[in-house]
Amino acid sequence: MSHAKHCSDWGAVPLFPLPNIVLFPRAVLPLHILEERYKTMTADALAGDGLIAMALLKPGWENNYHCKPAIEPIVCLGQILSWEKLDDGKYNFLLQGRQRARIVREIAGQPYRVAELAAFQEEEALEIDLEEQRDRLTKLFTDGSLARVPAGRQFRDLLSSPLSTADIADLLAFNFLEDVELKQGLLREENVQRRVAQVVEAMQAVSLQFNPALRGYPTDPGNN
């Protein structure tokens, strides 16, 4: 089992619920902050430890958006990497996922949502147990449509690096998968070996339909 630091060691953590975004550990998410409550959240986070937990809104959130619509209980704790405050008080910042977490309880008292989080417990896997899945991913980014975009070269490099297969799977899910329900399912999957296998299957499906031009990826002439 994972023995990651208990998130409540950092105190109350701001929650930023959004309807279509699932953050994963190591992934970097650019955010543009418009609403007053989230400007306050950002200012408070920057004055503290820079931590914000991204949460996915459950279906039906539109009817209760400005109050407390239901959110998924498994979130990704993120750290603000860099930020800028605009002249009109809005913010731009980059949030990097640090670890999965579970909402223990929400804490009232702020214009934005705040929660106590507990570290997410995982059934870990050895790299040797993920070797076949890693080989399948390497093949996907060596041959075919995924190999012909700059992201393909970047992931080939990652797959030949010491970075764990589980971490690479998280980055793939964040960058390539579009099904939000699938992504949230991967975020809450406790069994690492099963999670990686699900990402590999999803990536194989992506590769069969992947058209770099339609997806907005510039082609990489060096890999044609």
Instruction: Give the alpha-carbon dihedral of 7, 12, 14, 15, to 10 degrees.
Output: 60
Separation CA 223–CA 151 (nearest Å): 11
Model pLDDT, residue 39: 97
Model pLDDT, residue 165: 98
pLDDT in tens, 194-211: 999 999 999 999 998 876
Q: By C-alpha distance, which of 56, 27, 73 is closest to 181? A: 56
Rg of the Cα atoms in the chain = 18
Report whether 183 contacts 75 (CB < 8 A): no
Contacts of 1 (CB under 8 A, 6+ apart): 121, 122, 123, 124
State how beta strands 13-18 and 51-56 pair: parallel
pLDDT in tens, 72-110: 999 999 999 999 999 999 999 999 999 999 999 999 999
Model pLDDT, residue 143: 87
DSSP string, 121-147: P-B---GGGGHHHHHHHHHHTTSSGGG
Model pLDDT, residue 41: 97
Separation CA 50–CA 56 (nearest Å): 20
Domains of the chain as residue ranges with CATH:
7-119 (2.30.130.40), 127-223 (1.20.58)
Model pLDDT, residue 62: 61
Separation CA 95–CA 63 (nearest Å): 27
Report whether 207 contacts 140 (CB < 8 A): yes
pLDDT in tens, 62-76: 666 666 899 999 999
162: left (phi over 0), alpha (psi -120 to 50) or beta: alpha
Model pLDDT, residue 65: 60
121 token code pair: 């417990």
pLDDT in tens, 132-174: 999 999 999 998 788 888 888 999 999 999 999 999 999 999 9
